[in-house]
Amino acid sequence: MDTEALTNMPPETGGGQPDQTAAEGRTPGERTFLIVWGGQVVSLIGSSLTWFGLSIWIFLETGSVTALSMVLLGSQLPRIVLSPVAGALVDRWDRRWAMILSDLGSGLGTVLIAALFVLDAVTIPWLVAIAAFSSVFQAFQWPAYQAAISLLVPKAKYQRASGMVQMAEGISQVAAPFIAAAVIAFWDVLGLILIDIATFTVAVLTLLVVRFPRPPKSAVGESAKGSLWSESLFGFKYLLQRHGLMALLAFFAALNLAFGAIGPLIIAYMLSIGSELTLGTTMTIGSTGMIVGSIIASVMKPARRKVRGLILSSVVLGVTLGTVAVTSNLVVITGSIWIAMCSLPIGMAMSQAIWLAKVEPDVQGRVFAARGMIAQATIPIAYLLAGPLADNVFVPLMTGDSALGEFLQGIIGAGEAQGYAMFFLSLGAIVLIACAAGYAYGPLRNVETDLPDHDARPLSV
């Protein structure tokens, strides 16, 4: 997992400054974006610390992928279900205050988890409930943050700004395992949670010292005004009339079905072949690839055919999932994770640049919320399936004596780790099938040329 005046400025100017200003230096909007981005980097590091520590604690306490999946489900499902309403409110509100609300609500959830550890009252149901509580507030964060980019950054720099947002994720994933290992060595999970509380405070303070411009009005935005219910549904209507964008969402929904299962699965897999230190070291090194990929996305010339770049990066992800599965060599596994993490932000930045260019700024909150709900609807399904499939299908298959199990064991070996590995192979196959289908579908392949940018001519719903 973000206004006032300048309503008549064209959307590509990043808060009302002409494009030539960007050529001479940073616009005021870009400087605001950098301040907000820095605060979000700090907050993401804190959140990653908490969830990295909790993931290890949950699996070691329960030995169950299902238990870990249930907590992750709690952290995602309310956000996805509430996103249409949150998106409508984001378009009505100052997007800066929507981000502040999100950070404060998430921070309160972190405080509640800290209280449970102090009272020695931590249970899986409590963690699921608090994760769901925080998820309600996080529904506002993503549409507000993403929609703010087009208010602050010139259109020519959408891909760069999107790459920086991905870089923030990479920095948090690199820093979290290293810091977590050091803190846990001298304290425990509670220490990580207290650091998280301090970091969300930094994020709120950075948002309090800046201002966001008001999004410029568009014909689409004016026609979309109505009740909260009608505005909540607007994003879906908008997308249904733009087949290329709907195809892009279907593509991501297929990817998320695979990648939603990776969260709990990678924890179980790495702990089955090594220790907590092995997990932390591998994830830290592997996650540096995300920083490298984010830097590449931030400095590279905007791609002319971004959809092709997105699909190619997804092919790399599918292949590396298979590579992780076929070996227990930690060097190969770490290298595969590094390559996957490097390709991820490049593809995500290209995707986000498409969305920022095609969707009118004054409706981006609603459209991006609907976009998130559709694309991420398969993540809860993945969480629900990952635990039972790992615990009851793949691990028994690779440790039992069935005919299929013995055949597969003869190829990649027998054992609990090989059960998780077989799951990874299946996920890699899903990703590659989605890539082939996505490229073969014309509306997705040609969305950049078939659908005009929002400043070219208005589209009505």
What percentage of the chain carries pLDDT values higher than 90? 7
pLDDT tier at 256 (50, 70, 90 boundaries)? confident
Which of 72-86, 190-204, 219-233, 353-367 is least confident?
A: 219-233
Structure-token pair, residue 154: 């010139």
| 6 within some domain | no
Structure-token pair, residue 143: 């549409």
Contact (CB, 8 A) for 183 and 329: no
pLDDT for residue 281 is more than 50? yes
Return the pLDDT at 4.
23
pLDDT for residue 26 is more than 80? no
Sequence-distant (≥ 6) Cβ neighbours of residue 52 within 8 angstroms: 176, 177, 180, 192, 280, 283
- Using CA atoms, how far residue 369 sits from 12, 83, 263, 265, 310, in Å, is 21, 5, 23, 27, 21
Return the pLDDT at 328.
73
| 3 within some domain | no
Return the C-alpha torsion angle 280, 286, 290, 296, nearest 10.
Answer: 150
φ, ψ for residue 94, nearest 5 deg: -65, 120
Return the pLDDT at 17.
35
- If we measure between CA atoms, which residue out of 157, 179, 140, 181 comes closest to residue 372? 140
Average pLDDT, the chain: 79
Q: What is the pLDDT of residues 112-164, one digit of tens each?
A: 988 988 888 888 899 999 989 988 888 888 788 877 887 888 877 887 887 78
Domain count along the chain: 1
Average pLDDT rounded to a whole number, residues 426-454: 88
Identify the helix (H) or strand (E) that includes residue 141.
helix 124-152
Q: How far apart are CA 113 and CA 96, in angstroms?
A: 26
Helices assigned H by DSSP within 326-363:
330-358
Buried b (16+ CB within 10 A) or exposed e, 203-239: bbebbeebebbbbbebebbeebeeeeeebbbbbbebb
Single-letter residue type at 164: M
DSSP one-letter string for 364-431: HHHHHHHHHHHHHTHHHHHHHHHHHHIIIIIHHHHHS--HHHHHHHHHH--SHHHHHHHHHHHHHHHH
pLDDT tier at 224 (50, 70, 90 boundaries)? low
| 460 within some domain | no
| 368 within some domain | yes
Q: How far apart are CA 282 and CA 50, in angstroms?
A: 18
DSSP state of 14: T
Sequence-distant (≥ 6) Cβ neighbours of residue 274 within 8 angstroms: 282, 330
Average pLDDT rounded to a whole number, residues 284-298: 82
Residue 279 belongs to domain with CATH number = 1.20.1250.20
Average pLDDT rounded to a whole number, residues 308-324: 87
φ, ψ for residue 451, nearest 5 deg: -110, 120
| 1 within some domain | no
Residue scoring higher pLDDT (151 or 432): 432
Single-letter residue type at 343: S
| 174 within some domain | yes
- If we measure between CA atoms, which residue out of 68, 64, 66 comes closest to residue 54? 68
Contact (CB, 8 A) for 14 and 26: no
Identify the helix (H) or strand (E) that includes residue 50.
helix 28-62
| 93 within some domain | yes
Average pLDDT rounded to a whole number, residues 161-173: 78
Return the pLDDT at 437.
92
DSSP state of 275: -
Could you list the residue range(s) of the whole structural domain that residue 333 is in? 11-450
The structure's pTM equals 0.66
What percentage of the chain carries pLDDT values higher than 70? 90
